[in-house]
Amino acid sequence: MQLLKKAIKWGTRKSPWIIHFNAGACNGCDIETIAALTPKFDLERMGVVQQGSPRHADVLVCTGAVTLQTKERLKQIYDQMPEPKFVIAIGACACSGGIFDGCYCVMGGIDKVIPVDVYIPGCAVRPEAIISAVQKLLDTLK
């Protein structure tokens, strides 16, 4: 059993699969997240692969403040992910609600609905910051 857990941790560290979820962003952080996956910044050099299904993803990358309309979907996606799972909040809106905090339909940051492992503040976050955060997250698995 211990050997199996060790193999899963090694696989997660060497080839994490991410899924991206926009909880209600203005798309500034979405563009930067996609830019981090393009050949110019090449997040794939660390083994990161974007996955379309939460059932196969290890890391949930969220952008935007959580709205009343998206909170159930966000929770559902998080629950569908297998253990071990990690969450990265990208941008000021995902971290705390940003400029939308206090609006009638905004609940706040991602951590109001699901636990967050890494926060990347900024508006909009640079691809280098996203790559650095993913690297630090993977380093914690060692």
Q: Look at residue 83 and tell me if it is in a domain.
A: yes
108 forms beta bridges with 66
Q: Look at residue 2 and tell me if it is in a domain.
A: no
| pLDDT of the residue at 73 | 92
CB 52 within 8 A of CB 27: no
DSSP for residue 82:
P
| pLDDT of the residue at 20 | 86
Q: Look at residue 87 and tell me if it is in a domain.
A: yes
Q: Look at residue 11 and tell me if it is in a domain.
A: no
| pLDDT of the residue at 13 | 59
Q: Is 84 helix (H, G, I), strand (E, B) or coil?
A: coil
| pLDDT of the residue at 76 | 92
Q: Look at residue 6 and tell me if it is in a domain.
A: no
Q: Look at residue 26 and tell me if it is in a domain.
A: yes
DSSP for residue 100:
G
| pLDDT of the residue at 107 | 83
The secondary structure of 19-50 as a DSSP string is EEEESS--SHHHHHHHHHHSTTT-GGGGT-EE
Give the CA count within 13 Å in the CB-facing half-sphere of 28: 15
| pLDDT of the residue at 135 | 83
Token reading at 70:
């998206």
The residue to which tokens 């996606």 are assigned: 77
Q: Look at residue 21 and tell me if it is in a domain.
A: yes
Token reading at 66:
């959580």
Domain encompassing residue 125: 16-139
Q: How many Å apart are CA 104 and CA 38, to the nearest integer?
A: 36
| Total domains, the chain | 1
Query: In CATH, what number is assigned to the domain containing residue 87?
Result: 3.40.50.12280
Q: Look at residue 55 and tell me if it is in a domain.
A: yes
| pLDDT of the residue at 78 | 93
The CA–CA distances, whole Å, from 33 to 36, 78, 89, 126 equal 5, 19, 11, 8
Q: What is the pLDDT along the chain (142 residues), one digit of tens a residue?
A: 677 777 666 666 567 888 888 887 787 777 888 888 887 887 777 778 777 788 888 888 888 888 888 889 999 999 999 888 889 999 888 888 787 888 888 888 888 899 999 899 888 888 888 888 888 888 877 6
